Chains A and B, each alone.
Chain A
Amino acid sequence: MNKKGFALIAAVMLLIFSPFIFSLFYLNLVTEILILAIFALSLNILVGYTGLVSLGHAAFFGVGAYMSAILAREISPNFFLTLFASLAAAIIASAIIGIFCVKVSGFYFLMLTLAFSQMIYSFVHQSTTITGGSNGLSGIPSPLIGSLDFSNPVYFYYLILLLFILIYGGLSLIVHSPFGQVLIGIRENETRLKSMGYHTTLYKLAAFVIAGGLGGVAGSLYTSFNSFISPSDVYWTMSGSVLIMVLIGGSGTMIGPVLGAAFIVILETIVSSYTTMWMMIIGIIFILFVVFFPKGIVGLGKLLLQSFSKSNKLSAISGKKSNALYNNDVKN
């Protein structure tokens, strides 16, 4: 077993035993981190692997969240119903929006995703009868599977953990599969991929729909977690903060967005208990990362590991050199 596998197992064990280690407050914090990590992981498929920077990912989060909220209130809080309906709604929404967005790239892609997400925001904001308008929807019943009620935070935590592991595992398979390699190829050089015979537009759309669908799943879970949803979770600042999670964590890596989500949620919780200007502090940290560690927490970690092993190697080399010198001296 390699070091990476060991670290992975240790992390999973820690997550499994969290309810026994942490108080309820911190368990809820971990739950929130896992849900937002799913959201960041979904965006990372688009931003980190396909190279399409979206500033409208909250749209699909919102579609999933409101779908879930409305169904749970009006029809049934059955977990599978709300989850799969949210997934389906987000897939449909992202397919429609994606068809337009993947036709453009770079700056225009960013602006177009932003415009579409703001359209969804204003729909949510205006349709008071369906979405509760600016008041949002509250009192959303907690999810049920059969007679099992997930209002218990420990049960709910395990439900989220299971989904998180499934999604993380599934996505890491996808990004290493031949399909995922095509996405990486598009990020690196779309022109070349076309001349290799790839219908790149279709692949970009697929990435957009995967990202959107899982974004919807995250939204659905978020609604169940908070039993409340408001238009601010569909606003473009939400798209911005998930993008920050991906970038601070390390885009184009699997673990990066998870670390980014954890970092931002923890920071937000700690800093906001001291000052109301926490947004400014996150902004400053983001700027520092972009300027000094553009590869995020993952890049920073690698850098530290490298310099550590390098200094070890260097001392080994200098040791050899002094030996060689010594040998020369003897020969002379």
Chain B
Amino acid sequence: MENHVILKIDRVGMHFGGLEILKDVSLEVKKGERIGIIGPNGAGKTTFFNILTGDLKPSSGSIYYKGENITNVANFKRTNAGIVRTFQRNNLLNELTVLDNLLLVLQRKHHLQNVWFKKRNEKKYPKLFEEANQLIKTWGLEKRANEIVKKLSYGEQRQIEILLGIAINPQVLLLDEPTAGMSQAETDYIVDLLHNLPKDLTVLIIEHDLEVVFGLADRMVVLYDGGILIDGDPNEVRNDRRVNEIYIGKEEAAAHA
């Protein structure tokens, strides 16, 4: 089971009208792999994620999860099957507290969501609240537990964005730029937490911060102009001339400008 393919993307294409975003992308993801997905803006990275989660339907091709064709399966069903995403931009329940955000995830995980006539409080759901408080503690947010999310700093919100994904206990976790807009200290903290994720969890991570992605990934996929340019070992990718030209070179050029 060690090298079992958990996710198979078979010649997936996506176009909006005449605009081609993805061209025949194929990828096999093995269980427990940590795949970094990099590429310049507009390469189709987020579109690729949206197709994996079911937020978008591909124009062509199919997606298999544990051998089953899930191309037409709705997004919430994929979540329940274990494919979970975090968003590139914080997408939280801004008016609710950190605890309430987390409880919504956990009550779904434990199939309590259809209880109608029982108040959801600590007395009646001790286990649920205990698990929530434990997670909040692990993520260093205990002082924030009862704060309304929108009052938190950007970095803290980003942390919750990832926490909500992980709290579901996914089998495949799709992280869309988890450290975008974070300070160096916050980034280090997140990277540390991501390093401590269970080893059998499959992670696909889109990230612009190359330090972060090279530190986390054991396989790198470079998307360029809607197709896979390189798929291989991080060291190989790091030294590849084409990558330096299209991606890193561009950044350097931008830095010099």
CB < 8 Å neighbour of A178 from B76, B92, B113? B113
Nearest chain A CB to B105's CB is how many angstroms away?
A: 5
- Is A176 located at the chain interface by the 8 A CB criterion? yes
Q: How far is the CA of A184 from the CA of B96 in the complex (A)?
A: 9
Closest to B120 in A: A178
- In contact, B119 and A177 (Cβ under 8 angstroms): yes
Closest to A185 in B: B104
- In contact, A176 and B120 (Cβ under 8 angstroms): yes
Interface code A169-187, partner B: CB below 8 Å = 1, 0 otherwise?
Answer: 0100110111111101100
Interface code A196-211, partner B: CB below 8 Å = 1, 0 otherwise?
Answer: 1111100000000000
Nearest chain B CB to A166's CB is how many angstroms away?
A: 12
- Known contacts A185-B93, A188-B93; is-contact A195 B117 (Cβ 8 Å): no
14 contacts between A and B (CB under 8 A): A173-B118, A173-B119, A177-B117, A178-B107, A178-B114, A180-B116, A181-B104, A188-B96, A192-B92, A192-B164, A196-B108, A197-B76, A197-B79, A200-B76
- In contact, B113 and A191 (Cβ under 8 angstroms): no
- Is B157 located at the chain interface by the 8 A CB criterion? no
Nearest chain A CB to B158's CB is how many angstroms away?
A: 14
- Is B85 located at the chain interface by the 8 A CB criterion? yes
- In contact, A179 and B114 (Cβ under 8 angstroms): yes
- Is A315 located at the chain interface by the 8 A CB criterion? no
Given A179-B114, A181-B120, A191-B91, 12 other A-B contacts at CB below 8 A? A173-B117, A174-B116, A178-B120, A180-B116, A188-B93, A192-B164, A196-B76, A196-B79, A196-B105, A197-B76, A197-B77, A198-B108
CB < 8 Å neighbour of A195 from B84, B96, B120, B121? B84
Q: How far is the CA of A180 from the CA of B84 in the complex (A)?
A: 23
Nearest chain A CB to B164's CB is how many angstroms away?
A: 7
Q: In terms of DSSP, what is the predominant structure of the interface of chain B?
A: loop
- In contact, B104 and A193 (Cβ under 8 angstroms): yes
Interface residues on B, range: 35 or more
Nearest chain B CB to A41's CB is how many angstroms away?
A: 16
- In contact, B116 and A198 (Cβ under 8 angstroms): no
- Is B168 located at the chain interface by the 8 A CB criterion? yes
Nearest chain A CB to B97's CB is how many angstroms away?
A: 11
Nearest chain A CB to B111's CB is how many angstroms away?
A: 10
Contacts of B94 on A, CB cut-off 8 Å?
188-189
Number of A-B residue pairs, CB cutoff 8 Å, is: 86
Q: How far is the CA of A133 from the CA of B113 in the complex (A)?
A: 44
Q: How far is the CA of A194 from the CA of B77 in the complex (A)?
A: 9
- In contact, A178 and B75 (Cβ under 8 angstroms): no
CB < 8 Å neighbour of A177 from B76, B95, B96, B116? B116
Q: How far is the CA of A277 from the CA of B113 in the complex (A)?
A: 48
Q: Using a CB-CB cutoff of 8 Å, which residues 150-204 of chain B contact chain A?
A: 164, 168
Closest to A200 in B: B76
- Is B229 located at the chain interface by the 8 A CB criterion? no
- Is B112 located at the chain interface by the 8 A CB criterion? yes
Q: Which A residues lie at the B interface, using CB under 8 A?
A: 170, 173-174, 176-182, 184-185, 188-189, 191-200
- Is B53 located at the chain interface by the 8 A CB criterion? yes
- In contact, A177 and B104 (Cβ under 8 angstroms): no
- In contact, A174 and B93 (Cβ under 8 angstroms): no
- In contact, A181 and B84 (Cβ under 8 angstroms): no
Contacts of B114 on A, CB cut-off 8 Å?
178-179
Contacts of A189 on B, CB cut-off 8 Å?
91-94
CB < 8 Å neighbour of A198 from B76, B120, B164? B76
Closest to B81 in A: A197
CB < 8 Å neighbour of B117 from A174, A193, A198, A200? A174
Contacts of A197 on B, CB cut-off 8 Å?
76-77, 79-80, 108, 168
- Is B243 located at the chain interface by the 8 A CB criterion? no
CB < 8 Å neighbour of B53 from A170, A180, A195, A198? A195
- Is B223 located at the chain interface by the 8 A CB criterion? no
Of the candidates B79, B87, B116, the one having the most CB atoms from chain A within 10 angstroms of its own CB is: B116
Closest A-B pairs by Cβ, 10 of them = A197-B79, A188-B93, A176-B119, A197-B80, A178-B107, A178-B115, A179-B116, A194-B76, A178-B112, A173-B117
Nearest chain A CB to B19's CB is how many angstroms away?
A: 23
Q: How far is the CA of A199 from the CA of B80 in the complex (A)?
A: 10
CB < 8 Å neighbour of A179 from B74, B75, B113, B121? B113
- In contact, A181 and B103 (Cβ under 8 angstroms): yes
